[in-house]
A and B are shown apart, each in its own frame.
Chain A
Amino acid sequence: MKYERRKKQKLILKKDIPLYLMALPGIMVLIAFSYIPMAGMIVAFKDYHYKGGIFGSEWTDPLFKNFTFFFNNMENALRATRNTVGLNILFFIFGTIFAVAAAIMLSEIRNKRFIKTCQSVMFFPYFISWMVMGAIINALLSSDVGWLSKFLQKAGINFDFYSSPGAWIIILIVVVVWNGTGYNSVIYYGALTGIDTSIYEAARVDGATKWQQITKITLPLLRPTITIMFLLSVGKMLKGNLNMMIGLTNLNPLLLPVTDVIDVFVYRSSVKNGEMAYASAVSLYQSVLSFLLVIISNKIAKWYDKDTSLF
């Protein structure tokens, strides 16, 4: 009996060998680029020097030395956090408004060819890299040759976009909307095509106008999807987009009051300037808080809708 079971177990293992082999490369990539960097977070408690690396450098004395820097220079971390969270919230609000509006409009239109064309044209900006986007923005806003700047100059307004951080809140929102509306509207459009059309039939029989159908039926039906998308974005609230900021503004120091999100800050201080102590503390703070946010938003999403599992 015991022998039998052992034999069976061995058999299972043998036939599973191809599965282990097929999973192995993926496992290795995950270990190398996700799990070992997680272990590397201990650098926040080390006196980093290149020779020792993460694991060979000495522990700081006291252990929280890097964090005392962090708390003594709270303004930097606070500004970065405020920018990251603030921009992400604005991106979500405006991104959702445009994406939902586009999806609803698409779903009301009957002309199939028009729908297809619109969808593919609106999706196109998603394929544009941030570097290309930066070149486009520059062609629009640069004070000597930019299309918009020239236009404003003709109207007698001299406005230098590249030295006014405030304007970049709007510019970044516009770019994000431009970039993401096509992509996100596909998600909402997908949710809309799943709605049972008999509800609309009934509403029409009752004499409801299109506008009433949209506000009274479509929007409420989209609410779960919007909520889930919101919770998804809460998990990413503390992640700043370094590529976007470099692509669009080149980390222009004049614009940093708005564009200095956490990732930009960590990049500037550590990769660029080699100041590991402070950056590692900020980086650890971002990772841990992000993790908490993801876990909490996951829990809420599960509670809100049992069928969805979030990332």
Chain B
Amino acid sequence: MKSMIKPRIKSDDILIGCFYVLLGLFSLLCLLPILMVISGSFSTETEIAVHGFSLLPQGFSLDTYNYVLSRQMNTLASAYGVTIFVTLVGTVLSVTITTCFAYVVSVKDFQHANKLAFFAYFTMLFSGGMLPWYLVCTRYYHLQDTLWGLILPYCMNVFYMYLVRNYINGIPYELTESARIDGAGYFQTFVKVILPLSKAGIVTIVLFYALTYWNDFYLPLMLVTDDKYFSMQYILYKMNANIQYLATNSTGFGADHIALPTQTVKMAITCIAIGPIALVYPFVQKYFVKGVTVGALKG
């Protein structure tokens, strides 16, 4: 028995130990900035002004959140509403469009499947660029300051389409074939056989799309000027662009000459913007990891 165990090499143990330490440190570095933001949001403005940001809250207080929730309620509620609406509607719409297209492209005896696949693929090879896109969207589709403008342009991500197609192609051909022999049409086959069997792939793109819409800043930047359609990310942008944006926008604060809690407010709003993602993340991250592995290289 003893002879079965191979001699352990001491340098190997040291190396593996180093790997543990390095990975642990890097993981820690991934979290520390977030911790700093959270701490900042619970600090008092004066402490931050004197000492700057740090990893632990300075003079722990909920003042910033009180201030944000009382003075900025309208702005934030509206932005949150826009973000949630765009994320929900956008994700449902995009996933439907993408999955349907992916199925059509994967049907083996459909004569135009390859042509359609190339029709989508070509947009990954060549793009007209930002300027023509911007001109077309504003001048012809009139998407500026509409909720559709924040949704439609992302509805057909070709990369995600291929990801779903890979999953569908992994379904044994006999299964779809037997459904067809039983007299199911293409649509029925899609709903009854394909959808249940490619659930894992669809969940992945649901999450990717939801993340895209939640974090999107490009469409608001290009198409939104009216405060009614400001999303959370756009509020953050305004805030970064002009620290006083929220202060000047808050009504009934003019009489006070107290220093406005701008630095901590920034952190609080940042926390509010990433809050839902951080909450959902632990439950969904495994789908992302899986999705990346499947989608990345199989093309």
* Residues on A facing B (Cβ under 8 Å): 12, 15-16, 18-19, 22-23, 25-27, 29-30, 32-41, 43, 48, 50, 53-54, 101-102, 105-106, 108-109, 114, 117-132, 134-136, 138-140, 144-147, 149-150, 178, 181-183, 186-187, 189-191, 204-205, 209-211, 225, 228, 242-243, 246-247, 250, 263, 266-267, 270-271, 276, 279-280, 283-284, 286-287, 290-291, 294-295, 298, 308-311
| Contact indicator B135/A19 (Cβ below 8 Å) | no
Chain A, interface SS category? helix
With A139-B267, A271-B222, A311-B159 in contact, is A129–B104 under 8 Å at CB? no
Least Cβ–Cβ distance between A307 and chain B, in angstroms: 9
Q: What mask results when residues 88 to 100 of chain B are scored 1 for a CB within 8 Å of chain A, else 0?
A: 0000000011101
Chief secondary structure at chain B's binding surface = helix
Knowing A26-B101, A187-B292, say if A109 contacts B31 (CB, 8 Å).
Answer: no
Instruction: Let me know if B23 and A102 touch, CB within 8 A.
Output: yes
B5 CB to nearest chain A CB (Å): 12
A53 touches B135 (CB 8 A): yes
User: Quick check: A40 and B135 within 8 Å, CB to CB?
Assistant: yes
Write out the residue numbers on chain A whose beta carbons fall within 8 Å of the beta carbon of B59.
none
Judge whether B241 is part of the interface by a CB distance below 8 angstroms: yes
> CA A273 – CA B215 in complex, angstroms?
26
Other A-B pairs beyond A19-B110, A120-B282, A124-B31, 9, CB < 8 Å: A19-B186, A33-B137, A127-B211, A136-B270, A139-B53, A182-B30, A190-B292, A246-B217, A246-B237
Residue in A187, A266, A279, A280 whose CB lies within 8 Å of B296: A187
Question: What is the minimal beta-carbon distance from B297 to any residue of chain A, in angstroms?
Answer: 7
Alpha-carbon distance A12/B113, docked complex (angstroms) = 14
**A109 close to B215 (CB less than 8 A):** no
A105 contacts across to B, CB distance below 8 A: 19, 22-23
- Contact A40/B128 with A23-B104, A150-B51, A211-B11 known, Cβ cut-off 8 Å: yes
Q: Quick check: A147 and B53 within 8 Å, CB to CB? A: yes
Chain A residues in 8 Å Cβ range of B53 = 139-140, 145-147, 150
CA distance in complex: A136, B277 (Å): 16
CB distance from B291 to the nearest CB of A (A): 9
A30-B296 in contact (CB<8A):
no
Which residues of B sit under 8 angstroms from A35, Cβ to Cβ? Answer: 123
* 8 Å CB interface, B216-261 against A: 216-218, 221-222, 233, 236-237, 239-241
A109 to B111, CA, bound (A): 49
Contacts of A34 in B (CB 8 A): 123, 127-128
CA distance A136 to B282 in the complex (A): 22
Task: State the CA gap A109–B18 with chains docked (Å).
Answer: 11
Residue of A nearest to B280 (CB): A127
**B135 and A30: CB pair below 8 A?**
no
A15 to B111 Cα, complex, angstroms: 12
Are A129 and B217 in touch, CB under 8 angstroms? yes
Is B133 a contact partner of A150 (Cβ separation < 8 A)?
A: no
Whether A26 lies near B288 (C-beta < 8 A) is no
Contact in complex: B20, A114 (CB < 8 Å): yes
Interface string of B257-299 (1 = CB under 8 A from A): 0000001001100100110010001100110110011001101
Q: Min CB distance, A308 to chain B, in Å?
A: 7
B9's nearest neighbour on chain A, judged by CB, is: A209
| B187 in the interface (beta carbon within 8 A) | yes
For the complex, is B130 an interface residue (Cβ under 8 Å from A)?
yes
Nearest A residue to B233 via CB reads A131
**Beta-carbon nearest neighbor of B207 in chain A:** A127
Min CB gap B46→A, angstroms: 11
Binds A, one of B33-41, B63-71, B169-177: B33-41
A129–B125 CB distance below 8 A: no
- Report Cα–Cα, A199/B119, bound state, in Å: 43
Contacts of A132 in B (CB 8 A): 37, 236, 270, 273-274
A39 / chain B contacts, CB cutoff of 8 Å: 128, 132
The minimal Cβ–Cβ distance linking B187 to chain A, given in whole angstroms, is 4
Are A283 and B129 also in contact (CB < 8 A) when A109-B16, A211-B15 are? yes
Contact A12 B127 (CB under 8 A): no
Which A residues touch B124, using CB under 8 A? 311
Given A30-B119, A54-B136: A131 in contact with B130 (beta carbons within 8 A): no
User: Is there an interface contact between A139 and B126, defined as CB atoms closer than 8 Å?
Assistant: no
**Does B205 count as interface, using CB distance less than 8 angstroms?**
no
Question: Closest CB-CB distance, A226 to chain B, in whole Å?
Answer: 12
In whole Å, how far is B192's beta carbon from the nearest beta carbon of chain A?
A: 13
Q: Mark B121-158, 1 if CB is under 8 A from A, else 0.
A: 10111111111111111011100000000001101101
Instruction: Report whether B6 and A204 are in contact in the complex, using a CB–CB cutoff of 8 Å.
Output: yes
Would you give the 0/1 interface string for B2-22, flagging 1 where the beta carbon is closer than 8 Å to chain A? Answer: 000010010110011001101
Closest to B155 in A: A29
Nearest-neighbour CB distance to chain B for A127, whole angstroms, equals 5
A282 to chain B, nearest CB (A): 8
Kindly list chain B residues whose C-beta atoms are within 8 Å of the C-beta of A38.
126-128, 132
Best-surrounded residue of A30, A298, A309 (most CB of chain B within 10 A): A30
* A263 close to B130 (CB less than 8 A): yes
Are B31 and A121 within 8 A (Cβ)?
yes
Name the contact of A25 in the complex, choosing from B97, B132, B296 (C-beta under 8 A): B97
